[in-house]
Each structure stands twice: as structure tokens, then as C-alpha cells.
Amino acid sequence: MKNNQALIPIYDMAACIPGTNFIIKKTEGNSVPSYMAIPHRHADYKISFLVEGEVTHYTDFEKYTIKAPALLMLAPDQVHQQTGNSYYKMMHISFNKEFLLTETQGVLACWECMFSQVVLPVMNVEQMQEISVYVDLMYQEFKDDKPQKGLILKNLLNAFIICAGRLVNCKNETVAEAPAPVVTMDYSQNRIVRQFKSLIDENFVNATQVTQYADMLYVTPGHLNDLIKTVTGKTAKQIIDERRILEAKRLLFWGEHSVKEIAGRLNFEDDAYFNRFFKKHTGNTPALFQRTIREKYN
């Protein structure tokens, strides 16, 4: 685990196996391992394949009752917790961005869409067989110590991700003009969009202005804003502010921390400014959001 004085524990696979960028493991039984039963995050991407049984999973602010077979998709920093007392069998695959995206950025149009859906049901026997083949091959290769192990795992994972993408419904019927998929843009635009989102995840506490990210990316603020709006339908500042609000909501829901403590943690000038900022973007005060969301799920 890496902590960095985190209010919510962060699990990092490199802390388990130094130097690794891929892990696959199995959990099975009638009870959830203690480390999965407490609210936590992962520093890496994680895909869990529910092979048998049923589990209850909380991801950020939603409760999911998941029945096998299904894939559970978790992006870095999402707060989650697994509960349940019935029998289940799951295969867990963790990997960092570098292990995958360089291979798939020109192939898979729904990378972000996949992880935003959280749960991908496996609908038929054919899909089950496809997913199972790749998972079994990765599990066996990971256990063995053979030449070119890393290269084989990387290629198997890329194939598995593309296969899993077949389960995704990326169409949004309620949006008249959906933003263009990232991969339909040229390479330089694609790179800037991905880097912008990555930089926000790393710096949103201390860097809150578009100009700061434009400087990091060596582009003008106007160019960055135009590009982000073309792809996402939102301004660059909206994306930055949404990331700050998301983190505030996570800390309010999952932790036992005062509004003042959270305001300080997120680098707001004071709790009064944090209250105004939060209400502007959500319509509720932090205290009201915390009470309402906890009443919903507890």
C-alpha cells in the first residue's frame, strides 16, 4: 500500500511486487478479504472478472449488486468497497497505464467509456468463453517463469481489453451531439487530451487554473480549451473543477472528516470558500451532500 498521508488508503501493486506493472490473482470463498472490505483506492487500473456467485460493490457513490458472469471496471483513484457473505469466485487483473495504452490508443475508441460503466455484464456463452480464455492464459503465464513472460502478458492483456470492449455500449441516446471519440483525432490532439486528464489527476489539488496545465503541456490556454471542448463538450476549467468536486464527494462520503479538514486537504483558502465552491457546482452544501448520500446507502 502507498499512503502519502492519504485520508483513504491507496493500494499500489508496485508495493506488493516491486517493479511490476501487471498482476493477476484469484479470490474465492464465502467472505470478502479484509483489505477489500474497507473503503480504498488503487493506484492502477483494475478489472475483476466475477466468474461465479454474487457480490455487492460500492464504487464512489453507487451501490452495485453484481451477478456472475460480469466484469467490474475500476479506474485509478476510484474509491470502492466489496461486501457480501455468499460464495463467489473472482479473477483480479491490475495494470498501469504504460502497460496498455501505448498498444491500444489507435484501436480502442471506448477506453474511457469502458471504465465509466463500472459493471459490464457478460451476456452469453460465447462472450463468457472469450473472456475466460484470455483470463486463463494470463493467469497461467503470470504463474510460470518463462522467457519473454512480460511481452506475452502485455499482448494477452491488450487482446483481453479489446475483447472486453465488445461488451461496452458507448452510445448515449440522450445526447444529440456526442463528443467525438478521442481516437478519431490526430495523434498530437489525442496525446494532449490524455496528458491533460492525467495531469489533472496528479495536480488538481494545487493546480486549479487552465493556464497552469497549458504551461505543463506547452500550449496556449486558448488552444487547450478549444481542444478539450471539442472532445468532451466541456471547457478545460469545467474538467478541472469537476475533478476537485469528485474528490470532495469521495472524502465526504467515505471518510470521517470534517468539512474544514477536507477543505484544507483540497487546498481551499478556507472552509467558507469550499462551501461556496461545492454548492455552486452541486446545488448542495458539503454537509447536506454528506448526510443525503449516507442516508441513501446506510
Is pLDDT of 1 > 60? no
List all residues 6 or more positions away from 91 whose beta carbon is below 8 Å from its beta carbon: 24, 25, 26, 48, 49, 51, 135, 139
The CATH number of domain 10-168 is 3.30.360.10: no
Q: Are 263 and 230 in contact (CB under 8 A)?
A: no
pLDDT mean across residues, the chain:
83
pTM score over 0.75: no
Residue at grid coordinates 441516446: 173
**Residue matched to cell numbers 470558500:** 273
Q: pLDDT tens-digit profile of 55-82?
A: 998 888 788 999 999 999 998 888 888 8
Tell me: the pLDDT tens digits for 215-235? 999 999 999 999 888 877 889
pLDDT at 104: 58
The answer on pLDDT for 209 being more than 90 is yes
Mean pLDDT of 1-21: 67
> Which sequence spans correspond to the domains of the chain?
10-168, 187-297
Residue 124's CB is within 10 A of a number of other CB atoms, namely 10
Total residues found in the chain within this entry: 298
Q: Over range 200-209, report the average pLDDT.
A: 93
pLDDT given for residue 184 in this prediction: 41
H helices of 61-119, where?
A: 101-104, 111-116
Q: What percent of the chain has pLDDT over 90?
A: 46
Average pLDDT value for residue range 142-163: 91
pLDDT band at residue 22 under the 50/70/90 scheme: very high
Per residue in 153-200, pLDDT (tens digit) is 999 998 898 888 888 765 443 333 443 333 344 445 667 887 898 899
- The stretch 113-137 carries a mean pLDDT of 90
Residues 29-39 pLDDT 10s:
888 888 888 88
pLDDT in tens, 76-105: 888 888 887 789 999 999 998 778 755 555
For 12-30, what is the mean pLDDT? 83
CB 93 within 8 A of CB 23: yes
Q: Where are the beta strands (DSSP E) in 20-113?
A: 22-29, 41-42, 45-59, 62-67, 70-74, 80-83, 88-95
Which CATH number among 3.30.70.20, 1.10.10.60, 2.60.40.10, 3.40.50.720 corresponds to the domain 187-297? 1.10.10.60
